[in-house]
Amino acid sequence: MFTSKSSVALSTAIAAALLLSACSTTPPPGSTASENAGSGSTDGFTGAESQTEVSALAPRAVLTYDGGVLTLDTESGEVLDTTELDGFLRVNNAGDGRHVMVSGGKGFSLFDTGLVVQGHGDHNHYFVSDPRLTGQTIEAPEPGHVVIHDGKTALFSDGTGAITVVDSHDIHDGEISDDEIEKFSTETAHHGVAVPLSSGDLLLTQGTADARNTVQVLSPSGDLVAETTDCPGVHGEAAAKPTATGDVVALGCENGPVIYRDGAFHKVAVEEDYQRSGNLFGHHDSTVILGDYKTDPDAEKERPTRIGLFNTLTDSVTTVDLGSAYWFRSLARGADGEALVLTYDGQLNILDADTGAVIHEIDVVEPWEEPEEWQQPGPVVKVGADGFAYVTDAAAKKLHVIDVEAGAVLDSFDLPETPLELAVVTGDPETAARDEEDHAGHDHAES
């Protein structure tokens, strides 16, 4: 069971997020936002002398490497900051369009990318500042999954089973107070995940360090709303287009995914006895979930060439064989719900998620293979809230910017370090509450 220590009024979060997002626009890579930086006063908007007002924001890429974190302007290719940090580092969008969570041994450290949107009446003002660690770390031994959904950000500690939930907009000022945080816990520490639902319920996994097969939905008071124990090896989650009755969330298992829909869990019918899809990717306006598709229980390191397109309304799957393998950092979703997969042959495959038809095959990197250890560098695919895809090339130490709709490489930038993980921020929130999504049409992305 879980218990809530504090709550945040949803109506306040929605109102604040609407103010933040009103009239917000982000220029595509190649525009001149950074050249239009002005020296005008920030008085009345930010109160920070270190911020400079600009006409628009250029997306920033945050990359981890062996020894720290670097921030890159994806318009100019300029390295804006290098922050040295020890240990193996992971990075995820925080949900507010400005910050990212840097995961290390002690917890989730809040990193400010320096993209600032300030609502002012019926319009926004845009500012840039130097990227920096804010100094705030949410304690979480063995920090794991970061999930942004329905205007909230959930952090899972594999070391304790603790779950921290915060309204994504409350992250924007870089100081998360105790009364803005909801804390929950699972029964036992395990490699798990939690998803805050629009109903106020919380979807979470239960298990141990040795085995996990249970997914639950619990009410704010801790009552059991729904449960399945038919999800061995549960790993990974993704949200799809909601139904009229609420959220739709898929989770990967070793016998086909389970889907939470209309208040109950449903099992996807797969042909294989063993079918693992531990890495899932959804889109707020698509009923299809993209996932990896592994079928060999005895493989030490399976390299599948097929992907799964899981229909969350019919509990069925369509597989597509791309003819070349991929790994868990190869997959993403486009702004219009396209399925993106970077394969060993160096091509970024862009597919129609509904039909499985290949729309584009883009040569992006040289042929590659998955490293022996998942912590080692390899290519990463991410899609920003601007709709462009960003692909790291670890072998060549480059970052590539892709126009998904046109199927073309727009820019390639040299990096001073070998990239490991990647997050892209644009100033626009990566998640919004459903009422805001319906009103403002923002994209929804999962970490």
pLDDT string in tens for the chain (447-residue length):
343 333 333 233 323 333 333 333 333 333 334 433 433 333 323 334 489 999 999 999 999 999 999 999 999 999 999 999 999 999 999 999 999 999 997 899 999 999 999 888 889 999 999 999 999 999 999 999 999 999 999 999 999 999 999 999 999 888 898 999 999 999 999 999 999 999 999 999 999 999 999 999 999 999 999 999 999 999 999 999 999 999 999 999 999 999 999 999 999 999 999 999 999 999 999 999 999 999 999 999 999 999 999 999 999 999 999 999 999 999 999 999 999 999 999 999 999 999 999 999 999 999 999 999 999 999 999 999 899 999 999 999 999 999 999 999 999 999 999 999 999 999 999 876 545 443 333 233 333
Q: Give every CB contact of residue 27 below 8 A, 6+ residues apart in sequence.
A: 33, 56, 57, 58, 75
Q: How far is CA 149 from CA 73, 167, 239, 240, 432, in A?
A: 26, 10, 8, 11, 7
For tokens 């050249």, the residue is 35
Residue 414 three-state SS? strand
Amino acid at 297: P
Residue 265 structure tokens: 């869990």
Give the pLDDT confidence score for residue 432 in this predicted structure: 66
Q: Give every CB contact of residue 71 below 8 A, 6+ residues apart in sequence.
A: 60, 61, 62, 63, 79, 80, 81, 82, 113, 114, 131
* 436: nearest Cα among 1, 15, 5, 3: 15
d(CA 330, CA 27): 25
Which secondary-structure segment (H or E) carries 82? strand 79-84
* 441: nearest Cα among 387, 403, 379, 402: 387
Cα pseudo-dihedral 52, 54, 60, 65, rounded to 10: -20
Residue 57 burial (10 A CB sphere; 0-12, 13-18, 19+): buried
Q: Give every CB contact of residue 355 below 8 A, 6+ residues apart in sequence.
A: none
| 369 bridge partner residues | none
d(CA 280, CA 290): 6
* 65: nearest Cα among 417, 375, 414: 417
Give the pLDDT confidence score for residue 409 in this predicted structure: 98
Q: What is the pTM of this model?
A: 0.86
* 87: nearest Cα among 421, 437, 428, 313: 421
Residue 419 structure tokens: 């990239």
Give the pLDDT confidence score for residue 15 in this predicted structure: 33
Q: How far is CA 91 from CA 87, 222, 296, 394, in A?
A: 13, 31, 30, 16
Question: Please, what sign has the CA dihedral across residues 351, 376, 97, 235?
Answer: positive
d(CA 390, CA 407): 13
d(CA 28, CA 419): 23
What one-character DSSP code corresponds to residue 276?
A: B
